[in-house]
Amino acid sequence: MTDTRRLLWNGWYYDGQTARRHSVEVEVGSTGLALTLEDGSMRRWMYHEFRQVQGSRPGEPVRLERGPDPPEILVVEDQSFLERLKENAPGAARSWVTPAERRKRQRWLLAAGLLGLGAVGAGYTWGIPILAARVAAKIPPEWEVRLGESLVESVTSQERICSDPELQQAVQGVVERMSREAGSRYSFQATVVDASMVNAFAAPGGFIVIYRGLLEITESPEELAGVLAHEMQHVIQQHGIRAILREVPLRLVVAAVVGDLGTAGQMLTTASSLGSLRYRRADEASADRAGVLMLQKAGIDPNGMLVFFRRLAQQERGLPEWVGYLSTHPPTRDRIRKLEALIAGVEKDWQPLLGGRDWDRLKRSCATLVTPEVS
Amino acid sequence: MNTPIRKPAFHGTGGELFLIHLVNALLIVITLGIYWFWAKTKVRAYLYGQTEFDGDRFAYHGTGGELLRGWLKAVGLVFAVLVAGVLIQLLLGEIVGALFIYAALGFVVAPMAIVGARRYRLSRTSWRGVRFSFRASWKEFIPIFVLGVLLTVVTLGLYYPFFHVQVRRFLVDHSYFGNRPFSFDGDGRDIFGRHLLALLLFVPTLGFYWFWYTAFRNRYYWSHTSFGGARFDSTVTGGALLGLFLTNALLLLVTLGIAFPWVQVRTIRFHADRLVLAGPAELEEVRQEALAATATGEGLADLMDVDLVGADFFGL
């Protein structure tokens, strides 16, 4: 506790003109300080005339400055001097900070910081997705098409495209039948890539890419339609473009902190590499749901989708090359159960796809083009 | 009569500095980087304010606004050099243009940055209420710098210790506390042998001998730096320097970099604890004589990443 009756303090005085250190006796008065130097001369510092520069950190001498630059300086080592000052000059004391007050401030600052951090976290988890959806809706379809084009090109430029016209038309036909019924604003374009990987993806603007590996493990065109419907819904619901937009703020902040806007631009453009694009689980569920509805609307048997995912689930183990599709579309039990619930109860006269053409032959027509069978 | 001995002491703590860095980081994120200049100023004000010499603490008077303006001017200057370079490329050919850019940046802008940063920093530092200053222009530094770089290149690096000593002399001899200068009487010949030895031993000692060489050079520089009738002296040893380096590296590694403020504090304390100023410094006679300076050089130094100055304790 401060001795409230203590009026005299020892300190050091610097006149701002020389580096001479004057030993000084400080008397705390009612309107200001009276400084008595070692030669007996006096200085009067009124309370409103000086400011505190140091003395609020633990162990730090109290440093007061008076006047324009270069100021006169008074240093008192004993920090309780500050408390005594504050008691004596309540009006002027507001800007003076004692160590105890500083600790209190720090605690507030810490609390505010944590709160701010929480707010930033909440904004990132909920605010940014909402904003991304809003912005995505405002993006002209032509931009999406251009982005999608460059995405598809960057992924498929190393691959051969299946050019068998019958296969190409068959797949495109399924896509168009659904897109007609869904009344989408995108014109869809399906491409079959000649690669053994089991994979399929959609790019913004209406681009659907199916790998030969996936095509060959479907046992009916309805199964393929199920995969296509799911991917088309990613496009229609703008999941891809939203995923990119969700990344933007984080990357900007990282770039700002790192202080490198060059890499920021680079990151923005390579955000478009599909590898870094992850749909959220909610997006996947939504694409399943809307995909089934779209199939039903187009008169296509949605059981194909279910059958395909069930088979994926069964064969999941021991098939490393399936990693591509499985890693992005895990056929979890939960997912299959939801599909079953959606499909149950809807009975309809489904129109068989492709008029009952030989699916086993058609789905292999890409591979035969590349590697003619020897037998 | 015994000679007065004056010592620095550093009172900063890693915890306090960590809090400053933490708040700074948050504000930098929120302001998308603009706060960086104020953050830098806050760290400096803390480090200077916690550094005591002969019973009194230093004070730092710079502001974030100054740094921001300096940085903007520096960006403008570098940009102008690049634009001029491109124009020259178009008019006189690619090689001339490229040469112009390298020469302008390397031989004019770099010395400007080194001198400017020192001018700014010293002019914003005070002790016992009296400001430091740096009283030479970058124009005087260019011949020393250009000649030193060229000779170093021509001699395949053998000239480097002489160059280093000359830079040190220029920077110290024009540094003032109030109206009194510091002075440096080192000679490149004194460190040339050790420099050669360090180069030869670098590979056989896996680079470790470099700590002993750095410590030697450090001691040499301090013991040839004086103020008034007083001379500095440092007791830094290679072993201690190596110990500091290893413990700092370990701290950073184990804490994934979070220990940075503690590393900063330890490093400053390490140097402060080993430094003395012995002899009659006649501090009583020092009069205030502040000098104006802008932060453009500081901005250039940040942009070009040249920090020849801040290597030791307060860059003296």
Give the span between the Cα atoms of A329 and A239, in whole angstroms.
Answer: 14
| Nearest beta carbon to residue B19 from set A73, A106, A256 | A106
Contact B303, B71 (CB under 8 A): yes
Interface of A with B in 115-154 (CB under 8 A): 116-117
Domain count for chain B, please give it: 1
Whether residue B287 lies within 8 A of chain A, CB to CB, comes out as yes
The total number of residues written for chain B in this structure: 316
| Nearest beta carbon to residue A18 from set B30, B32, B286 | B286
Which residue shows structure tokens 């309540």? Answer: A90
Write the burial class of residue A102 (CB in 10 Å: 0-12 exposed, 13-18 middle, 19+ buried). middle
Give the span between the Cα atoms of A338 and B131, in whole angstroms.
Answer: 75
For B135-166, the pLDDT digits (tens) are: 988 899 999 999 999 999 999 989 999 999 99
By CA distance, what is B10's nearest residue in A?
Answer: A60
CA–chain centroid gap for A38, Å, is 65
Give the distance from residue A310's alpha carbon to the nearest chain B alpha carbon, in angstroms: 45
- Give the pLDDT confidence score for residue A368 in this predicted structure: 56
Instruction: Report the DSSP pairing between strands B130-134 and B175-177.
Output: antiparallel
Residues in chain B with CB shorter than 8 Å from the CB of A57 are 16, 50
- Give the pLDDT confidence score for residue A374 in this predicted structure: 45
Instruction: Report the DSSP pairing between strands A50-54 and A62-66.
Output: antiparallel
Residue B218 located in a structural domain: yes
3-class secondary structure for chain A? CCCCCCCEEEEEEECCCECCCEEEEEEECCCEEEEEECCCCEEEEEHHHEEEEECCCCCCCEEEEECCCCCEEEEECCCHHHHHHHHHCCCHHHHCCCHHHHHHHHHHHHHHHHHHHHHHHHHHHHHHHHHHHHHHHHCCHHHHHHHHHHHHHHHHCCCCECCCHHHHHHHHHHHHHHHHHHCCCCCCEEEEECCCCCCEEEECCCEEEEEHHHHHHCCCHHHHHHHHHHHHHHHHCCHHHHHHHHHHHHHHHHHHHHCCHHHHHHHHHHCCCHHHCCCCHHHHHHHHHHHHHHHHHCCCCCHHHHHHHHHHHHHCCCCHHHHHHHHHCCCCHHHHHHHHHHHCCCCCCCCCHHHHCCHHHHCCHHHHHHCCCCC
What are the residues whose beta carbons fall under 8 Å from the beta carbon of A296, sequence distance 6 or more? A302, A346, A348
Residue B33 located in a structural domain: no
Give the distance from residue A277's alpha carbon to the nearest chain B alpha carbon, in angstroms: 25
Residue B208 located in a structural domain: yes
Q: So what's the ipTM on this one?
A: 0.83
Nearest to B19 by CA among A105, A116, A96: A105
Which stretch of A178-187, A296-305, B6-15, B81-90 has the lowest confidence by average pLDDT? A178-187
The secondary structure of B241-275 as a DSSP string is HHHHHHHHHHHHHHTTTTTHHHHHHHHHHHHHHTE
Give the span between the Cα atoms of A207 and A211, in whole angstroms.
Answer: 13
The total number of residues written for chain A in this structure: 375
Give the span between the Cα atoms of A369 and A212, in whole angstroms.
Answer: 12
User: What is the percentage of chain A residues whose pLDDT exceeds 70?
Assistant: 84
Residues in chain B with CB shorter than 8 Å from the CB of A106 are 19
Interface of B with A in 15-74 (CB under 8 A): 16, 19, 22-23, 25-26, 28-30, 32-33, 36, 49-50, 55-57, 59, 61
Interface test with B, best of A15, A17, A109, A120 (most B CBs within 10 A): A17
Give the span between the Cα atoms of A128 and A248, in whole angstroms.
Answer: 10
Instruction: Please indicate whether, in this complex, the C-beta atoms of B288 and A72 are within 8 angstroms of each other.
Output: no
Question: How do the pLDDT tens digits run along chain B, 316 residues long?
Answer: 567 899 999 999 999 899 899 888 888 878 878 899 999 999 999 999 999 999 999 999 999 999 999 999 999 999 999 999 999 988 888 888 889 999 998 899 989 988 888 889 999 999 999 999 999 888 999 999 999 999 999 999 899 999 999 999 999 999 999 999 999 999 999 999 999 999 899 889 888 999 999 999 999 999 999 998 899 999 999 999 999 999 999 999 999 888 999 999 999 999 999 999 999 888 888 999 877 777 777 777 776 654 444 434 444 4
Residue B51 located in a structural domain: no
- Give the pLDDT confidence score for residue A198 in this predicted structure: 82
Interface test with A, best of B13, B16, B54, B128 (most A CBs within 10 A): B128
- The distance in angstroms from the start CA to the end CA of chain A is 101
Angle between helices B160-173 and B188-202 (to 10 degrees): 130
DSSP-based three-state secondary structure for B157: coil
Instruction: Report the DSSP pairing between strands B225-227 and A42-46.
Output: unpaired
Which residue shows structure tokens 């059981």? Answer: A303
DSSP-based three-state secondary structure for B24: helix
Give the span between the Cα atoms of B121 and B136, in whole angstroms.
Answer: 14
- Phi, psi angle pair for B109, to nearest 5°: -70, -40
- The pLDDT-based confidence of A103 (bands split at 50, 70, 90) is confident
Interface A-B, measured as beta-carbon pairs within 8 A, has a size of 81
Residues in chain A with CB shorter than 8 Å from the CB of B127 are 19
- Whether A372 has a pLDDT exceeding 50, the answer reads no
Instruction: Please indicate whether, in this complex, the C-beta atoms of A71 and B129 are within 8 angstroms of each other.
Output: yes
Give the span between the Cα atoms of B165 and B20, in whole angstroms.
Answer: 36
Residue A175: both structure tokens together: 């896509």
- Whether A36 has a pLDDT exceeding 90, the answer reads yes
**What DSSP state is assigned to residue B7?**
-
Residue B161 sits in which domain range?
68-309
Which stretch of A147-151, A183-187, A262-266, B58-62 has the lowest confidence by average pLDDT? A262-266
